[in-house]
Amino acid sequence: MQLTETQQELRIAQGLRQRNKTAMRDFYALYAGRLTAVCSRYIQSDADVKDVLQEALIKVFMNAENFEYRAAGSLLAWGKRIVVNEALSFLRKSKTVPLLFDENLPEVADDDDMPVDEVPPKVLQEMIRELPDGYRTVFNLYVFEDKSHKEIGNILGIKEKSSASQLNRAKTILKKKIIEYKKGGRV
């Protein structure tokens, strides 16, 4: 009998609570790719991504009893939250957060018209990874984690306005990279 995704998720969650090695392997097999992608959005170096992901997985396995199943996808969402927190912790320890601010840059208008059509997801992810640490961190928290500028400010210890400014600058850089890519130039 084939398990539904929800049944599989529940089985893995229950196994993780019991520290079952098969459940740990299943969790890894099912989610490692997606969790690596999340981690890669924050961390540039592939070696550091592996280290951060390993630390996050250890936290997942050691804290599984704290996981509360709410609905389909909640186990992955919980794992992603741990990966994001671990990546932010890594960035803080490596002194890339607090963010690098260039107060001499002009403010840019926040136009959400990002021309991402026809850009393969892998190329777009690489463009995001190439952003300066501060811009990339704020961009990821805002766009992928759906955090407000106030929440980002609290997480990173910066002002709300600084978060908005960093996001706008990240978008400007990405927009230039996307336009260049579409013209057939190097990114």
pLDDT of residue 112: 56
Tokens of 12: 């893995």
Concatenating the DSSP letter of every residue in 144-180 gives TS---HHHHHHHHT--HHHHHHHHHHHHHHHHHHHHH
Under CATH, which architecture does the 5-93 domain have? Orthogonal Bundle (1.10)
pLDDT of residue 119: 86
pLDDT of residue 34: 96
Say if CB 74 and CB 85 are below 8 A apart. Answer: no
Choose among 119, 113, 136, 178: nearest CA to 41.
136
Same fold across 5-93 and 98-187: no
Distances (CA, A) of 126 to 33, 74, 85, 112: 16, 27, 21, 20
Q: What is the dihedral of CA 118, 137, 109, 173, to 10 degrees?
A: -50
pLDDT of residue 76: 95
Domain ranges of the chain: 5-93, 98-187
- Local confidence pLDDT in tens for the 187 residues of the chain: 677 888 889 999 999 999 999 999 999 999 999 999 999 999 999 999 999 999 999 999 999 999 988 888 999 999 999 999 999 999 988 875 555 544 444 444 555 566 677 789 889 999 999 999 899 999 999 999 999 999 999 999 889 999 999 999 999 999 999 988 988 855 5
pTM assigned to the model: 0.81
CATH of domain 98-187: 1.10.10.10
3-state secondary structure of 49: helix
